[in-house]
Amino acid sequence: MRILLTGSSGWLGSALAPRLRALGHDVTGLDPVPSSETPIVGSVADRDLVMQAVEENRIEAIIHSGALHKPDIERYRNEDFVETNVRGTLNLLDAAAAFAVQRFVFTSTTSLMISEAIRAGFTGGARKAAWLTEDMSPEPRNIYGVTKLAAEHLCRLYQLQFGLPSIVLRTARFFPEADDMAHVIEQSDANTKANELLFRRLTVEDAADAHIAALEKAPQLGFDIFIISAPTPFQPEDCAALIADAPSVVARYFPDYPALYAKKGWTIFSSIDRVYDASRARDRLGFVCKTSFADVLAGLEAEEGLA
């Protein structure tokens, strides 16, 4: 397929583009930041540029991973988020409808699922962890979440109005930057990222593969929304214990973890406040992340064996 990939210079785009090409797709990247993956330098908010890119490259599919993100809140105005994340998505959907694009994959975020009320529960002594699925009605707490949710609704609308197969992927954390609460957690970055694979993280490689799965399945599904996160070992009935004593819950599922973590000098979070359930992606999209917390422990065991 001839694919337009937005955000092609970013962390996800730079992992996704070569994978698509390896599968035989013709990939055209669009991003405000120049890179080897980005022949079209510009913003999705530039409607004429988007229309020209889709028409001239005879685009058959769009993967829209470009956006202003949560860390950008400090540097950009609300209207910048609306212009890029909402109007930019609308421009791409209009181009898709105008030029008979066959499928559309949108990179959304699990961040929009965290309302102010849920956030307050996390920081104010919730009695149990939040078990988060696609069935909940999001009430985003910031402009990033608001604009991503609005873009999701646009994808749904264009599937209804124009029959454009559109898949929304609410990806959990896969960015390389350290956690913005690292100063509170007092763990190494690698330790924190390993812990998060239990409930709210995936690798960028798995994020890229999820987009490929969505691209392939879009015509069959029509429209759907999926949480994309490493498979959690936890069950809903664990939620109270996860708040009260997360290490004991983790030890029930992974009895070897305490010794392996101790040798590494790592610790598990004392409390886990949310769990993203990615089972819908497994059941309907046929996608499961390859890397999980079990792989982290296998790696630590291998390190121990080589020591």
Domain residue spans in the chain? 2-233+277-292
Higher pLDDT, 122 or 261: 261
The tens digit of pLDDT for each residue in 245-254 reads 999 999 999 9
What pLDDT sits at residue 37?
Answer: 97
pLDDT band at 177; cut points 50, 70, 90: confident
Please give the mean pLDDT across all residues of the chain: 95
Task: Give the bridge partners for 109, in sequence order.
Answer: 171
* pLDDT reading at 216 higher than 90: yes
* pLDDT reading at 285 higher than 70: yes
The tens digit of pLDDT for each residue in 14-62 reads 999 999 999 999 999 999 999 999 999 999 999 999 999 999 999 999 9
Element (H, E) at 21: helix 11-22
The burial class, CB within 10 Å (0-12 / 13-18 / 19+), for 281 is buried
Q: By mean pLDDT, which of 54-68, 147-161, 183-197 is the weakest?
A: 183-197
CATH architecture, range 2-233+277-292 = 3-Layer(aba) Sandwich (3.40)
Average pLDDT, integer, range 237-264: 97
Q: By mean pLDDT, which of 122-131, 132-141, 156-165 is the weakest?
A: 122-131
What pLDDT sits at residue 118?
Answer: 77
The secondary structure of residue 282, as a DSSP letter, is I
The CB-side HSE value for 1 (13 A sphere, CA atoms) comes to: 18
* pLDDT reading at 105 higher than 60: yes
Average pLDDT, integer, range 195-206: 98
- Give the number of other CB atoms < 10 A from CB of residue 302: 10
What pLDDT sits at residue 241?
Answer: 97
